[in-house]
Chain A
Amino acid sequence: MKAFADLFRALDESNKTNAKLEALEAFFREASEADRLWALGLFSGRRPKRLVAATKLARWAAAEAAIPDWLFAESYHMTGDLAETVSLLLPKANAPVEHSLTDWMQRIQGWRGLPEILLKAQVKEAWAALSDDERLPFNKLLTGGMRLGVSANLAFKGVARAESMEPAAVMNRLSGAWHPDDVRWADLLRGEVPGRGAQPFPFFLAHALEASPEELPGGPEAWFAEWKWDGIRAQLLHRNGAIAVWSRGEEEVSAAFPEFKLLLGRLPEGITLDGELLAYREGEVLNFQNLQNRLNRKNSTRDLLRRFPVILMVYDVLEWEGTDLRTEPFALRRQKLVRLMSEWTLPGVLRLSPELPFAHWEALRAMRERSREERTEGLMLKRLDSSYGAGRKRGDWFKWKVDPYTVDAVLLYAQRGHGRRAGLFTDFTFGVWHHGQLLPFAKAYSGLDDAEVRALNAWIRDHTLSRSGPVVMLEPFHVFELAFEGIARSTRHKSGIALRFPRIHRWRRDKLAFQADTLDTLESLLKSSNAAASQGQLPETGDLFAGLHDAR
């Protein structure tokens, strides 16, 4: 696994895309075909599910390193990554034995379902056989946390270079369902993989609109507008007599959404639709949290289907009568889609994302103001003559999101972060005033730049009131403006509310703690943000004083 460990390290260490691409190209040129398949599998999200629970792995590693569990925990808080902590703590490898990536992957697959005592013996034996550099990727495989610091797209580009192929062609052939155990490298690249019938196309993604729409080329008449739906991007395929639903992560989610089986026999064959999965009832889009109740389920009970009905809000057709339409202009695809939706009698699980006609940008701007009432995240702008590309291409599709909600909150607790900022305090808990006390209500991890993180860390060193495990309690002093996308009632939080995507918007150095907002501010936001929010609950964001947990 040495070559793969070197690639892992190269990708991890460099922050330059070109250097990463070169490392990928070199790997895909030199590795065995089986190793290429496995590596590509890992790059494109086909990583094995977690084999060992974090706490177990931590305990085993602490025992190997002959240190107590609390010292492992201290080390973990500084490192910010479980697999890395384990790798750093294990005794130095004395006589590593080289096995290929494929060997290791096959072994690891074979360990699934082993009783703990046998699994532990296997893992310990593996640690002894691995070199220091190989242990990190190996541990990442065990914890199911293998992320390689590059997008699947870049990996595809690396393959394309190594194989002297077009990146788009590589991407087309490598998306969708295949498993390194079942295919051969050459077949995969030639597109000759049996049973490739029900694969989605690579998703075309939009860029955020950074300037004003007035600066877009062509003027209003060159653009199409619709709501930006707040659900899960998905493609629905009807091929070979079967309906399949794929989410943007290129994961098949058909089993979780059985309602789409209703389309069998009612939707023409050889079709691929692109749209958004939404929880939807009686003409109204429900909060995102309703949809979450339906995710990650192998089968859905009738009760779930009834309580959280889901539809696909369709906005594009990519394949029609077995013909790939992606190079056709958007306007034409839209025309076909409208025809399909009106000419075929389709069950309610498919709905057409309505066009938002506008004569000038000012009218659209007014429309955007209504996004929240419509339970959307803002607007999508698509150039009428654009083809359906692959990945994120600038200039054709834009998302024009509505401004987030904001609230001024006081920093109360801090915890050390992960990844690039491991070892620094970057995980913060905030509070608002309620009856003269500060009530914790939100955690936020992002939004500060490096200089702000440094300054805040220096301040934290001198203003810590107490420490509880990895969490430090701070003097209530600094005020931050938090931005968030949604707000809902929650019985699981002391404050009674839960925020969607909270992040730090601004450090309000101009404000003192007593000038922060109150719980009443949030309550009134909650009221205005619609009664539908009361259905279901947002998931718990995690115990404030949780010890070990997997890196995000």
Chain B
Amino acid sequence: MTGEGLYCPAGDFYLDPWRPVPRAIITHGHSDHARAGHGAYLTHPETAAILRHRLGWGADAWDTTTTIGGAAAYKASAAFRKGEPFAKRVGAHSPERPVVQTLGYGKTLTINGVRVTFYPAGHIPGSAQVLVEHRGDRWVFSGDYYCTGSEGALQPEMGGRFCAPFASVPCRVFITESTFGLPVYRWPDPVGEFAALQRWWAQNQSEGRCSVLIGYSLGKAQRLLHGLDASQGPIYGHGAVRTMTDVIRGLGYSLPELLPVDDGDWGKGRGGERVREREKKFATALVIAPPGAIDSPWMKRLEPYSLAFASGWMRMRGPRRRHAADRGFVLSDHADWDGLNAAVHASGAERVLVTHGFAEPFSRRLREQGLDAAPLHTLFEGESGEIREGREGREFGEGREGQEGQETRERPDAPQPLPLQP
């Protein structure tokens, strides 16, 4: 662990670092894991497509011929470390136009003698767990993942399949997230939650009210769209949700149509006629919007509406009431307590390092079960950037998309032993 993030000295690369580094392996596209400014990126092809959109990479950022461990990138990183302009040394590449290489699930790349393999994490499209092998030792970094457990057995999917389901990878050291690492976080049957969501929508339709459903625009929004029965009525999307959905659709995911809320046909006066027309337009509609849209003028247009959140935090009454939600649906793209436990045990790991979330209690529980477990301090936020109050001004991590470069409020971390030292 360094101030930049999780570091593998043998391979000389970082995993989801939060400060600019020469070489970064990125598990998935959420902004607390994938930041701008690295010299070279290694990531799943779907995540690369998401990052290309999110970080505003130009077409010339693509350089799949350059191996991440290759000479060009190495030179680039050395130059970058010395603070010399990146572009000077390698021409086309700079932090704005980085080296990007992709790696599919189950595929292996050797970097400085260290073997790196990606496995699906089930969290969002493109999300990967990273297996790091060196001299016969096996480490897995989970990133964020979704699975749940039932009677000790791992359940990798949420109802119907959306993205590639979580795969358990045997290893000696497992670095796991713990966003929902307390036993009060156990997900109800997602089929039942989707049914309840559908009933809430129908109820709103019968009362002539718009249904506004809040979910993070990358991952959650598409998972909702995937699980909803679109035959019930028109589904609209906030601008950020629509563009991200287009990106995901471009990856081959088939998702129902998302209509634009803003069709340029309003705001030209607040006349009664226009208001009535607008109300009629949204009276039977469901609108998916990111948390940042709450209380915005944009939302005003949807009045009258009922407001619901889809998030693991909705498991408890406190957050439901705090967000003044009319309804909360317990739909998360993170593993619940049972899922975390099932994943750890299925990995067969003897050492478990627990990152963001409830790292202390979860690792203590694992120690009680005879595992060598310890918390590991990171700056990842899990689902917290979405709903839960966390870092200042980031309660609703949304609305900042495309401004990644500004999200660098960091704190110095105490030096810790390098966990990836094989």
Instruction: Contact check, A78 vs B182: say whether CB atoms are below 8 A apart.
Output: yes
Q: Is the CB of B186 within 8 A of A419?
A: no
CB distance from A18 to the nearest CB of B (A): 12
A79 touches B321 (CB 8 A): no
A552, chain B: closest CB distance, angstroms: 14
Interface presence of A523 (CB below 8 A): no
Residue A163 interfacial (CB < 8 Å): no
Residue A349, interface by CB 8 Å:
no
B391 within 8 A of partner (CB):
yes
Contact present for A459 and B317 (CB under 8 Å): no
B316 close to A79 (CB less than 8 A): yes
Whether a CB of chain B sits under 8 angstroms from the CB of A65 is yes
CB-CB under 8 A for A74 and B182, given A458-B389, A458-B390, A461-B390: yes
Cα-based distance from A419 to B322 in the complex (angstroms): 9
Chain B residues whose C-beta falls within 8 Å of the C-beta of A462 in the assembled complex: 411
Contact yes or no, B316 A15, CB < 8 A: no
What 1/0 mask marks residues of chain A from 400 to 427 whose CB sits below 8 Å from any chain B CB? Answer: 0000000000000000001111111000
Query: Does chain A have a CB within 8 A of B320?
Result: yes
Residue B328 at the A interface, CB < 8 A? yes
- The verdict on B97 contacting chain A, using a C-beta distance below 8 Å, is no
Which of B317-350 touch A at CB < 8 Å?
317-322, 324-328
CB contacts (< 8 Å) of B389 on chain A: these are 424, 453-454, 457-458
- The residues of B that contact A132 with a CB separation of less than 8 Å are 188
- With an 8 Å Cβ cutoff, the count of chain B residues facing the other chain is 32
A108 at the interface (CB under 8 A from B): no
Looking at the complex, which one of A15, A70, A75 makes contact with B321 (CB distance below 8 Å)?
A15
Q: From known contacts A455-B392, A458-B389, infer whether A421 and B318 are also in contact, taking CB-CB under 8 Å.
A: yes
CA distance A513 to B328 in the complex (A): 40
Whether A454 lies near B395 (C-beta < 8 A) is yes
Pair count A-B, CB < 8 A: 88
Q: Does B184 contact A (CB under 8 A)?
A: yes
**In whole angstroms, what is the CA distance A206 to B208 when docked?**
38
Q: Which residues of A contact B324 (CB under 8 A)?
A: 15
B321 surroundings in chain A (CB, below 8 A): 12-13, 15, 419-420
Residues of A contacting B322 with CB < 8 Å? 420-421, 424, 450
B9 within 8 A of A: no
- Which B residues between 355 and 371 are near A, CB-CB below 8 angstroms? 358, 361, 364-365, 368
A319 at the interface (CB under 8 A from B): no
Contact B395 A68 (CB under 8 A): no
Q: Is there a chain B Cβ closer than 8 Å to A14's Cβ?
A: yes
Which residues of the other chain, A, contact B184 by a CB distance below 8 angstroms?
A: 75, 78-79, 85, 88-89
Contacts of B325 in A (CB 8 A): 13
Tell whether A423 pairs with B318 under 8 Å between CB atoms, given A67-B183, A75-B182, A78-B182. Answer: yes
Scan residues 370-404 of chain B and give those whose CB is less than 8 A from a CB of chain A. 388-395
Please determine whether A88 and B326 come into contact, CB atoms closer than 8 angstroms.
no
Instruction: State whether B326 touches A458 (Cβ < 8 A).
Output: no
What's the Cα separation between A180 and B318 when bound, in Å?
A: 31
Interface of A is mostly: helix
- Is B183 touching A75 in the complex (CB atoms < 8 A)? yes
From residue B357, how far is it (CB to closest CB) to chain A in Å?
A: 11
For A, the interface residue count at a CB cutoff of 8 angstroms equals: 39
**B183–A13 CB distance below 8 A:** no
| Closest CB in chain A relative to B306 CB, distance in Å | 9
Contact with B along A269-303 (1 / 0, CB 8 A): 00000000000000000000000000000000000
The answer to whether B391 touches A71 (Cβ under 8 A) is: no
C-alpha gap A132/B189 in the complex (Å):
12
In the bound complex, do residue A80 and residue B392 qualify as a contact, i.e. CB atoms below 8 Å apart?
Answer: no
- Closest CB-CB distance, A135 to chain B, in whole Å? 13
- A25 contacts the other chain (Cβ, under 8 Å)? no
A396 close to B (CB within 8 Å) = no
Tell which of B315, B320, B361, B392 touches A88, judged by Cβ atoms closer than 8 Å: B315
Q: A65 near B390 (CB under 8 angstroms)? A: no
| CA–CA, A526 and B25, complex, Å | 63
Option from A71, A422, A454 in Cβ contact (under 8 Å) with B361:
A71
Query: A458: which of B182, B318, B361, B392 is its contact (CB, 8 Å)?
Result: B392
- B316 engages A13 (CB within 8 Å): no
Nearest B residue to A86 via CB reads: B184
Contacts A424-B389, A458-B390: A84 and B317 contacting too (C-beta < 8 A)? yes
Contacts of B364 in A (CB 8 A): 70-71
Contact indicator B316/A423 (Cβ below 8 Å): yes
Q: How far is the CA of A457 from the CA of B320 in the complex (A)?
A: 18
As a 0/1 sequence over residues 182 to 215 of chain B, the CB contacts with chain A under 8 angstroms (1 = contact) are 1110101000000000000000000000000000
Q: Is the CB of B320 within 8 A of A13?
A: yes
A81 at the B interface (CB under 8 A)? yes
Q: Determine if B318 and A79 form an interchain contact, defined as CB atoms under 8 angstroms apart.
A: yes
**Which residues of chain B are near A65, meaning CB under 8 Å?**
183
- Do the beta carbons of B183 and A423 come within 8 Å of each other? no
Closest to A76 in B: B184
Contact B361 A81 (CB under 8 A): no
**CB neighbours of A79 from chain B (8 A):** 184, 316, 318
Q: How far is the CA of A13 from the CA of B318 in the complex (A)?
A: 10
- Closest Cβ neighbor of A67 among chain B residues: B183
Nearest CB on B from A253, distance (A): 33
Q: Which residues of B contact A420 (CB under 8 A)?
A: 318, 321-322
Distance in Å: Cβ of B167 to nearest Cβ of chain A: 26
A96 to chain B, nearest CB (A): 14
Once the chains bind, are B391 and A422 in contact (CB under 8 Å)? no
Question: Are B316 and A84 neighbours in the complex by a CB distance under 8 Å?
Answer: yes
Given the interface pairs A71-B365, A420-B322, A461-B390, the reply to whether A12 lies near B182 with Cβ below 8 Å is no
What residues of A have a CB within 8 angstroms of the CB of B315 in the complex?
88
Instruction: Encode A81-93 as 1/0 by CB contact (under 8 A) with B.
Output: 1001100110010
Which 3 pairs of residues, A with B, have the shortest CB-CB distance?
A422-B318, A458-B392, A88-B184
Task: Give 20 pairs: A residue, B residue, CB < 8 Å, sorted on A.
Answer: A12-B317, A13-B325, A13-B326, A13-B327, A67-B365, A74-B358, A75-B182, A75-B184, A79-B316, A88-B186, A89-B183, A92-B186, A420-B318, A421-B318, A422-B317, A424-B389, A454-B389, A458-B390, A458-B394, A461-B390
Other than A16-B326, A65-B183, A453-B389, give 16 A-B pairs with Cβ distance below 8 A. A14-B326, A15-B321, A67-B365, A71-B182, A75-B183, A78-B316, A79-B318, A88-B186, A89-B184, A92-B186, A422-B319, A423-B316, A424-B322, A458-B390, A458-B392, A458-B394
